[in-house]
Amino acid sequence: MKKTRVTLAVALLVFGVVYLVFAVSRAEGIVYKKVREIRAENAARDAGRSYRLTGNVLAGTIEHRLDKRTVVFTVKDEDGETMPVMYQGTVPDTFKDGAEVVVSGKYDRSADRLEATELLTKCPSKYQGQANPITAAQRKLPPSNASAPSNR
Amino acid sequence: MNPLSINSAGKTALWCAFLFTLLSFLTAVAAAWRRETPMGLLTVSRRAFLAGFTLTTISTGTLLVLLGTHSFQNAYVWAHTSTTLPPFYSLSALWAGQEGSLLLWVWILLGYGALLLVRYRESPRMLPWILIALASTALFFLWLTLHAAPVFETLWEKFPEAPVGMVPEEGAGLNPLLQNPGMVVHPPLLYLGYVGFVIPFAFAIAVLGTGRTDAFWLRSTRRWSMTAWLFLTLGILAGARWAYVELGWGGYWGWDPVENASFIPWLTATAYIHSVMIEERRGMFRIWNMFLIIFTYILCLFGTFLTRSGLVSSVHSFANSPIGTYFAVFLGVGGFLVFGWLYMCRDRLRSVHRIESFLSREAAFLFNNVIILSMAFAVLWGTIYPMISEFLTGERASVGPPYFNKVLFPLAMLLLLLTAVGPIIAWRRAEPEALKRNLARPLLWTVAFCLGLLVSGVRNIAVLAGFFASGFVLFANLDDYFSATAVRHRNRGEHYLKSAWNLLRKNGRRYGGYLVHVGIALLIGGVMGAYYNREREVDLLPGDTAILEPYSVKLERVEEINEANRSGYRAVLAVSENGRIVETATPEISFFRGTGIERQRTSEVDILPRLSGDLYLVLAGVDEQGRAGLQLRWNALVGWVWVGGGLMFLGSLFALAPPPSRKGVRRSPA
């Protein structure tokens, strides 16, 4: 009798946890989409959901607007397609032309722009494989360093 | 000596270490095969293992010499150091990159193994199996450092276009973000934690191999597990601390996959060090404990794998490398074999007793385990959610901090309530009356504490619940400790303080544990404080003032920084509290020279720490007019995270320390 009570409580707890994990991850998950897919999903009407877009900051497009906290730039995804992004907030230390970024937020149809609420930059260690002592010597500048956590 | 000869010597030593470890493995297998352990073979296996350790030590020393002498012919040295790097950081570059980290990893593994072999005298029957477990993991890592992530590679071996014999004048340098004491200690502490679980894991394998199923292995491994747990805890805290003071985003934990990768085995290890107490005491949960330690060890390897494979994108994003595949194969095959073996041995590992009552220490431990494992599951789920969602819905999606906070909060609250009750509740069957009596006082204190919070304006129900749960742990553990102190003081006539000290020293396992619990309660209180964090972003000209209650921050001037290795700006700020100047703060922004194709910007934050909260000041930028962009943050109660962490460290030391009465008696080697 006592044993069934304990088993029942454990089963209930486990069931509750699994439900919680499922429900919250469904509700909080943000999909990764490419530029083309984001535009397609919102072509007819506002899809109303948030996206994560991975790509590189197109060189020369970073523009600080109004005050320093709003930054507008263009992200180029792996297919080479581009989308403007507006982000409000302080940018991470590693945010610059060409940086690999993940931006998350809603898509604004009328402006064809991603209103990002989150901006993550990948760290410079991405260059580890490309670092090369010869080009470094030519440039009189050592290439980027390797394997380091980046600022966020 | 010629750097190239040193490099070859290191490589040769590593190869020899591999061969000796292989010899140790093979002889251990041969020894395990026989019914009577052949002592000759066992001696060969032990000595070969120790030789492997010695040679790896030489190899690691060799790499340190190369790093210390800036021998840029070595590709690893070139990629991670420069002549301008202080010597201290040159040596710490041993674990700045993948190749060196793996070498350090295997060196620690062999070191733990050697320490065990030197000290362990109890049961020679176990040793072949222990050696098999140790040597097989070591072989995998040694092979990685030789083949997949070679650490003794010259520049021209790594870059075919580089001329043979090339010696660059300058190395690529260490990432400035890593030039911080917190970052120097964080990786080795984590490794000491991760790798430390290899010893209990090896004993678990020996239990499966020999069929000896009494609780002896728990006594032999208790200190090893606790030590590994302590190092893992410290490693995680050091990483959090480093992120807080160095990264400039104001937080210390971001639910990043790599952070989670260290947190998940910490959770399972925490479950393990609790549930082994029931096996030791009551012979229950045997299969479960075996499962937990094997799972913990696999998760430690999985953590390394996750960090190195590029499987999930992370801000730590180490370069993608082929070693991810090797890890996947090693973990997959190893995990399958060990869990399969455990399943086959399940009949021998049946529990001696059963849980007798809902109200018992055993049941409390059971729920403790279920909740901690649930937390581990939830974190793991969130970490690999991109893969899960792709599998379930066809769309790759990921979850952020809100997921982790929402799921873990209720579980953490339940766990805290158990932490308050668990140490007090009796074994087997608790008398409800006695339990009520013991909990009444702490409950009263906690309610008073929460009423105090309510009166002082805390209205958020989740925050109140959080403080209730942590407060309950705090008061319940302290109450029991002080009661025990009072009893001892009465019975022995000792001074009250002496009684308190003696309890901690003589029953460190119990009261050290209490101290760890109190530390956890304070730490979670500190985490809860984040609810009251405030943030302001302002642009100030010299002479301007910004206010973040209760502080006002006046920009005195902006100074230019022009040093040998960096340039940048320093904002000189006069910080006043209630109109009185309390401190001059100097957050900086700097661009390190020679650290990349483009110069990397780093923020040097300035923090005014108080127990009520930290004023966290970041200089975001300086424009042409000399206007400084500043970020002012109020991080409420964050100091308690570090205070709580410190108590966890202290408590673990008491739990680890051998009781004084046993001095002179030869201790068990664990």
Closest partner CB to B406 (pick from A24, A30, A131): A24
Cβ-based contacts of B248 with chain A (< 8 Å) = 93, 151
Class of residue B442 by CB neighbours under 10 A (exposed 0-12, middle 13-18, buried 19+): buried
Distance of CA B73 to the CA centre of its chain: 34
In this structure, which amino acid lies at residue B545? T
CA distance B57 to chain A (A): 24
The one-character DSSP state at B86 is: -
Average pLDDT over residues B318-346: 81
Interchain CB contact of B355 with A (< 8 Å):
yes
Average pLDDT over residues B366-386: 93
CA distance A148 to chain B (A): 6
Average pLDDT over residues B252-263: 88
Instruction: Name the residue in chain B with its Cα closest to that of A8.
Output: B358
Least confident span in A41-55, A134-148, B326-340:
A134-148
Ranked by mean pLDDT, the top range of B213-217, B519-523, B538-542 is B519-523
Mapping DSSP onto H, E and C, the string for B101-134 reads HHHHHHHHHHHHHHHHHHHCCCCCCCHHHHHHHH
In this structure, which amino acid lies at residue A86? M
What pLDDT does residue A64 have? 78
Say which residues have a Cβ less than 8 Å from residue B557's Cβ, sequence separation at least 6.
B542, B572
Closest partner CB to B316 (pick from A97, A143, A149): A149
Average pLDDT over residues A31-36: 90
What pLDDT does residue B47 have? 95
Backbone angles phi, psi at B505, to 5 degrees: -75, -45
Interchain CB contact of B400 with A (< 8 Å):
yes
Closest partner CB to A30 (pick from B177, B398, B602): B398
- The per-type count for chain B, helices as H runs and strands as E runs, is 21, 11
Between CA B263 and CA B303 the distance in angstroms is 9
Interchain CB contact of B179 with A (< 8 Å):
no
What pLDDT does residue B134 have? 96
Question: What does the mean pLDDT of chain B come to?
Answer: 87
Closest partner CB to B355 (pick from A6, A69, A133): A6
Token readout for B9 is 């010597």
Average pLDDT over residues B298-323: 66
Say if the Cβ atoms of B317 and A90 lie within 8 Å: no
Between CA B7 and CA B152 the distance in angstroms is 6
Give the mutation candidate from A25, A94, A125 for the B interface (greatest B CB count, under 10 A): A25
What pLDDT does residue B60 have? 96
Residue B665 pLDDT > 70: no
Residue A139 pLDDT > 70: no
Residue B175 pLDDT > 60: yes
Residue B164 pLDDT > 80: yes
What pLDDT does residue B439 have? 86
Say which residues have a Cβ less than 8 Å from residue A55's Cβ, sequence separation at least 6.
A35, A75, A76, A77, A78, A100, A101
Q: In a 3-state reduction of DSSP, which class is residue B161?
A: coil
Closest partner CB to A133 (pick from B159, B319, B367): B159
DSSP string of B184-251, one letter each residue: HHHHHHHHHHHHHTHHHHHHHHHHHHH---STHHHHHHHHHHHHHHHHHHHHHHHHHHHHHHHS-SS-
Residue B643 pLDDT > 80: yes
CA distance A111 to chain B (A): 24
Cβ-based contacts of B356 with chain A (< 8 Å) = 2
Instruction: Name the residue in chain B with its Cα closest to that of A93.
Output: B601
Phi-psi region of B543 (alpha: psi -120 to 50; beta: other; left: phi over 0): left
Residue B604 pLDDT > 60: yes
Residue B308's pLDDT band, with cuts at 50, 70 and 90, is low
Say if the Cβ atoms of A17 and B397 lie within 8 Å: no
Closest partner CB to B315 (pick from A104, A137, A152): A152
Residue A43 pLDDT > 80: yes
Residue A129's pLDDT band, with cuts at 50, 70 and 90, is very low
Say if the Cβ atoms of A127 and B161 lie within 8 Å: no
Instruction: Name the residue in chain A with its Cα closest to that of B154.
Output: A133
What pLDDT does residue B120 have? 84
Say if the Cβ atoms of A127 and B629 lie within 8 Å: no
Between CA B203 and CA B347 the distance in angstroms is 19
Q: Could you tell me the CA-to-CA distances from A28 to A53, B211, B407 in Å, in that order?
A: 16, 47, 11
Residue B236 pLDDT > 90: yes
Residue B407 pLDDT > 90: yes
* Range A6-10, long-range pairs (CB < 8 A, 24+ positions): A6/B355, A6/B358, A6/B363, A6/B366, A9/B358, A9/B367, A10/B366, A10/B367, A10/B370
Token readout for B40 is 């000759």
> A66-99, pLDDT tens digit by residue?
565 788 999 998 888 999 999 987 777 778 888 8
Average pLDDT over residues B378-382: 94
Between CA B65 and CA B69 the distance in angstroms is 6
Q: In a 3-state reduction of DSSP, which class is residue B340?
A: helix
Token readout for B543 is 């002479």
Interchain CB contact of B370 with A (< 8 Å):
yes
Say if the Cβ atoms of B595 and A144 lie within 8 Å: yes
Average pLDDT over residues B245-262: 85
Residue B360's pLDDT band, with cuts at 50, 70 and 90, is confident
Say if the Cβ atoms of A148 and B178 lie within 8 Å: yes
Average pLDDT over residues A50-66: 85
Residue A125's pLDDT band, with cuts at 50, 70 and 90, is very low
Say if the Cβ atoms of B407 and A21 lie within 8 Å: yes
> B438-497, pLDDT tens digit by residue?
888 999 999 999 999 999 888 889 999 999 999 999 999 999 999 999 999 999 888 889
Residue B662 pLDDT > 60: no
Instruction: Report the percent of chain B where pLDDT is more than 70.
Output: 95
Other CB atoms within 10 Å distance of the CB of residue B403: 24
Q: Give the number of A-B residue pairs with CB atoms closer than 8 Å.
A: 202
Give the mutation candidate from B177, B262, B417 for the A interface (greatest A CB count, under 10 A): B177
Between CA A87 and CA B350 the distance in angstroms is 58
Say if the Cβ atoms of B411 and A17 lie within 8 Å: yes
Average pLDDT over residues B541-567: 87
Say if the Cβ atoms of A134 and B162 lie within 8 Å: yes
Average pLDDT over residues A122-143: 47
Closest partner CB to A3 (pick from B162, B354, B539): B354
ipTM, two decimals: 0.79
Other CB atoms within 10 Å distance of the CB of residue A61: 15
Interchain CB contact of B323 with A (< 8 Å):
no
Average pLDDT over residues B632-644: 94
Say if the Cβ atoms of B378 and A123 lie within 8 Å: no
> B522-545, pLDDT tens digit by residue?
999 999 999 999 988 888 889 899
Assess contact for B576 and B547: CB atoms under 8 A: no
Cβ-based contacts of B254 with chain A (< 8 Å) = 152
Say if the Cβ atoms of A141 and B174 lie within 8 Å: no
For the whole model, what pTM was predicted? Answer: 0.89
What pLDDT does residue B179 have? 76
Say if the Cβ atoms of B313 and A102 lie within 8 Å: yes
Token readout for B670 is 């664990």
Say if the Cβ atoms of B177 and A150 lie within 8 Å: yes
Average pLDDT over residues B285-297: 90
Between CA B176 and CA B248 the distance in angstroms is 13
> B69-118, pLDDT tens digit by residue?
998 989 999 888 888 888 888 888 898 888 888 999 999 999 999 999 99
Average pLDDT over residues A102-119: 90
Distance of CA B33 to the CA centre of its chain: 37
* Torsion (CA) B291, B293, B294, B297 in degrees, nearest 10: 150
Say if the Cβ atoms of B370 and A145 lie within 8 Å: no
Closest partner CB to B80 (pick from A93, A139, A146): A146
What pLDDT does residue B216 have? 78
CA distance B4 to chain A (A): 17
Q: Domain extents for chain B?
A: 3-354+366-404, 405-531+645-656, 537-640
Q: Which candidate, B406, B410, B389, places its Cα nearest to that of B398?
A: B389
Residue A147's pLDDT band, with cuts at 50, 70 and 90, is very low
Question: What does the mean pLDDT of chain A come to?
Answer: 77
Residue B562's pLDDT band, with cuts at 50, 70 and 90, is confident
Token readout for B26 is 């093979």
Residue B224 pLDDT > 70: yes
Closest partner CB to A143 (pick from B172, B537, B618): B172
Between CA B593 and CA B570 the distance in angstroms is 17
Say which residues have a Cβ less than 8 Å from residue B28's Cβ, sequence separation at least 6.
B42, B45, B127, B128, B129, B131, B132, B135
What pLDDT does residue A146 have? 34
DSSP string of chain A, one letter each residue: -HHHHHHHHHHHHHHHHHHHHHHHHHHH-EEE--HHHHHHHTSSS----EEEEEEEEPTT--EEETTTTEEEEEEE-TTS-EEEEEEESPPPTT--TT-EEEEEEEEETTTTEEEEEEEEE--GGGGGGG--HHHHHHHTS-----S-PPP-
Q: Which candidate, B639, B640, B632, places its Cα nearest to that of B615?
A: B632
Instruction: Name the residue in chain B with its Cα closest to that of A24.
Output: B403
In this structure, which amino acid lies at residue B436? K
